[in-house]
Chains A and B, each alone.
Chain A
Amino acid sequence: MSKTYYSPTHEYITVDGNVGYIGISDYAQHALGNVVYVDMPEEGDEIEAGEDFGAVESVKAASDLIAPVSGEVLEANEKLADNPRLINEDAMANWIIKVELSDLSQLDSLMDEEAYKAHCEAEK
């Protein structure tokens, strides 16, 4: 049973057990505009909650990716290297990295979908 959480900096993480898929939200892809490059970590890299683990570059801006949780990178989504526009097509389906979470309690500080919607509304 997977559940999706959101960070205030517009990353999402869909968690199943202690494995999570991290990407940027639909709101974020819309704000960024056409994505032209995704800078991703490599398998085996450690990410730390609150620290940047990569960047998304669009025709408008380059924006850091902030890790919502700490853990080890199990896989980077190689499809994005060839076709970064997939993020614009479906941000939720096209995750950026797959991680093994080191501390499940970090999820408590993230938002659920409803809270995140309110967060985006307030930012508009």
Chain B
Amino acid sequence: MNKKYYGKLIFELSRPGRQGYYLSKNGCDDALDSLPANLLRENAPELPEVDEPSVVRHYNNMSDNNFGVDTGFYPLGSCTMKYNPKINEEMASLPAFSILHPFQPSATVQGALEAYYELQKMLSEIGGMAEFTLNPYAGAHGELTGLMVIRAYHESRGDLKRTKVIVPDSAHGTNPASAAVAGLKVVEVKSLADGTVDVEALRALLDDTVAAVMMTNPNTVGIFEHNIPEIAEIVHECGALLYYDGANLNPLLGVARPGDMGFDVMHINLHKTFSTPHGGGGPGAGPVGVRAGLEKFLPNPRVVRRQPGGGDALFELDFGTEKGPNALGRISAWLGNFAVELKALAYILSLGADGLKMAGPLATLNANYVKECLRDLYLLPIDRVCKHEFVFDGLADKSTGVTTLNVAKRLLDYGFHAPTIYFPLLFHESLMIEPTETESKETLDEFIGVMREIAREAAEDPETVKAAPLETPIRKPDDTAAALNPVVTYAEL
């Protein structure tokens, strides 16, 4: 991590009249005269006026402030920060994809539609579902779409009293949020001490007012919900549908399929499991799959394949006319984040079936390796073989007063991104670690060494750990003040 902080804004570099390029007179200057006055702007746009070298240096210096999977280890639990192979970017940048216009006639974009169609099929195979829509823009958007599908299903049967969604207390915050946005009431079901859903508590909540039960499997503490066949059975018995939150699909890749476990609707976070970039490098994508019988409730457009008169296959956009009036219609402006979908397709094709089957087991191996190497110094509240991630409840030795926040900040000094902290809410000092399958043993050993060193510091020199970070360009930002009085525009600064 660099120690210097480049904190300028591009507007601060602006000088009146400065330009990167000087365009020659091209004879089009009077073109503006022919436009009606109400279409012309009165004032020039307030864009920064900067020369090219300053622009290039500005953005390079900005990116040097950044920390990402391309700069270092990023064990952010529940986020699956795996390395994003550059071939994905290369494929999505091919001009045959990147210069397309969404309104081009289908006949001129057959290759792009075929790629889209293939991904719909591959995700269906991977998830054990009948059909997938690639339209949703992100995981939470996928959840919302999935719940709208579930609502549409119940409404199509005239079953209008199903207004509740059951969500485990360990669920990601997006689950209750999506349910609320979909107009459904959230009911929480408790977890057992081992982190799995309490089947008896769930049974007591199930009745004819329940629309769906949302589950993440493996769950938020990285434990596989081994009772899932029984859960699927009792959920279906009461007439509700079982929703699979794909946030933690990574360890199951090529090993187990939500469709086979009895899930009816699922979403996949392509930006997690399928190695497309997260956050600032995003955007994300949250495709939604459904089991047979629910296809007609998926949103449109989708890509369909036809074979007219035995000739070449023809790929077309289906806007739902054939699927009947039940379809949700549009949930995104067009086909979703097409470039992200191409990156996921490139990832699947470059790993192949055999490679994909190794991703889950290796992610599981890496997580268990880190867990076992640290459990003597950090408190392990759930002592079981985990899947892709696990949760410590802070340092084992609580007498030093060093908190999870201190440990996380100290990790920054050593050049690592911090794990997820204070989530899940099941423990007071949650420290959630997800190494992913893309890290080498050397990187894991280095991280383990640093975590052990921090535990030693906490015992021998707790004040240093409490004062961390000491080495970062910005030390301790006041998050409370930032949340209370956010300054989000240049003018406010």
CA distance A61 to B479 in the complex (A): 13
In this complex, the member of A34, A62, A85 whose beta carbon has the largest number of chain B beta carbons within 10 angstroms is: A34
Give the residue name and chain of the B residue nearest to A82 (CB). Answer: B484
Instruction: Give chain A interface residues in 28-85, CB to chain B under 8 Å.
Output: 31, 34, 36-37, 59-63, 84-85
Answer whether residue B99 sits at the interface, using C-beta atoms and an 8 A cutoff: no
New A-B pairs, 16, CB < 8 Å, besides A59-B483, A62-B173, A84-B484: A31-B428, A34-B479, A34-B480, A36-B480, A36-B483, A36-B484, A37-B483, A59-B479, A59-B480, A60-B422, A61-B423, A61-B425, A63-B425, A85-B484, A123-B428, A124-B428
A residues adjacent to B (C-beta < 8 A): 31, 34, 36-37, 59-63, 84-85, 123-124
Task: Tell me the complex Cα distance, A53–B479, Å.
Answer: 26
Tell me which residues across on chain B come within 8 A of A37, comparing CB atoms: 483
Q: What are 16 A-B interface contacts by the 8 Å CB criterion? A: A31-B428, A36-B480, A36-B483, A36-B484, A37-B483, A59-B480, A60-B422, A61-B422, A61-B423, A62-B173, A63-B425, A84-B484, A85-B480, A85-B484, A123-B428, A124-B428
Given the complex of chains A and B, what is the CA–CA distance between A31 and B425 in angstroms?
10
Residues of A within 8 A of B425 (CB): 61, 63
Residues of B within 8 A of A (CB): 173, 422-423, 425, 428, 479-480, 483-484
Q: Which residue of A lies closest to B398 (CB)?
A: A124
Which residues of A are found within 8 Å of B479, using beta-carbon distances? Answer: 34, 59
Q: In the bound complex, how far is the Cα of B483 from the Cα of A59, in angstroms?
A: 8
Q: Which residues of B contact A31 (CB under 8 A)?
A: 428
Q: Which residues of A contact B483 (CB under 8 A)?
A: 36-37, 59
Closest to B421 in A: A60
Closest Cβ of chain B to A123, distance in Å, is 8
A37 to B485, CA, bound (A): 11
Q: For B480, what are the chain A residues with a Cβ–Cβ distance below 8 Å?
A: 34, 36, 59, 85
Complex Cα–Cα for A62 and B423 (A):
11
Residue of B nearest to A88 (CB): B480
| A20 CB, min distance to chain B CBs, angstroms | 25
Q: Please give the distance in Å from B486's CB to the nearest CB on chain A.
A: 10
Q: Provide the residues of chain A in CB contact with B422, threshold 8 Å.
A: 60-61
The list of the 8 closest CB pairs from A to B, nearest first, reads: A34-B480, A36-B483, A60-B422, A59-B479, A36-B484, A59-B480, A61-B425, A36-B480
Bound Cα distance from A123 to B425, whole angstroms: 13
Least CB separation from A84: chain B residue? B484
Quick one: closest B residue to A30, CB to CB?
A: B428
Which A residues touch B428, using CB under 8 A?
31, 123-124
In Å, the complex CA distance between A123 and B393 comes to: 13
Using Cβ atoms and an 8 Å threshold, which residues of chain B touch A62? 173
Q: How far is the CA of A60 from the CA of B422 in the complex (A)?
A: 6
Q: Which residues of B contact A61 (CB under 8 A)?
A: 422-423, 425
**How many angstroms between the C-alpha atoms of A51 and B75 in the bound complex?**
36
Q: Which residue of B lies closest to A60 (CB)?
A: B422
Instruction: Please measure, in the bound complex, the distance between the C-alpha atom of A85 and the C-alpha atom of B484, giving whole angstroms.
Output: 10
Contacts of A124 in B (CB 8 A): 428
Residue of B nearest to A64 (CB): B188
* C-alpha gap A124/B427 in the complex (Å): 9
**Chain B residues within an 8 Å CB radius of A123:** 428
Contacts of A63 in B (CB 8 A): 425
The complex places the Cα of A124 from the Cα of B429 at a distance, in Å, of 10
* Bound Cα distance A85, B479 (Å): 13
What's the Cα separation between A47 and B480 when bound, in Å?
29
* A58 CB to nearest chain B CB (Å): 8
- In the assembled complex, the Cα of A123 lies from the Cα of B173 at a distance in Å of 22
Interchain nearest-CB distance for B379 vs A (Å): 12
Question: Which residues of B have CB within 8 Å of A59?
Answer: 479-480, 483
Chain B residues whose CB sits within 8 angstroms of the CB of A85 once the complex forms: 480, 484
> For residue B483, which residue of chain A has the nearest CB?
A36
Inter-chain CA distance A60–B173, complex, in Å, is: 13
Could you tell me the distance in whole angstroms from the C-beta of A35 to the nearest C-beta in chain B?
8
In the bound complex, how far is the Cα of B484 from the Cα of A69, in angstroms? 30
How far is the CB of A70 from the nearest CB of chain B, in Å? Answer: 18
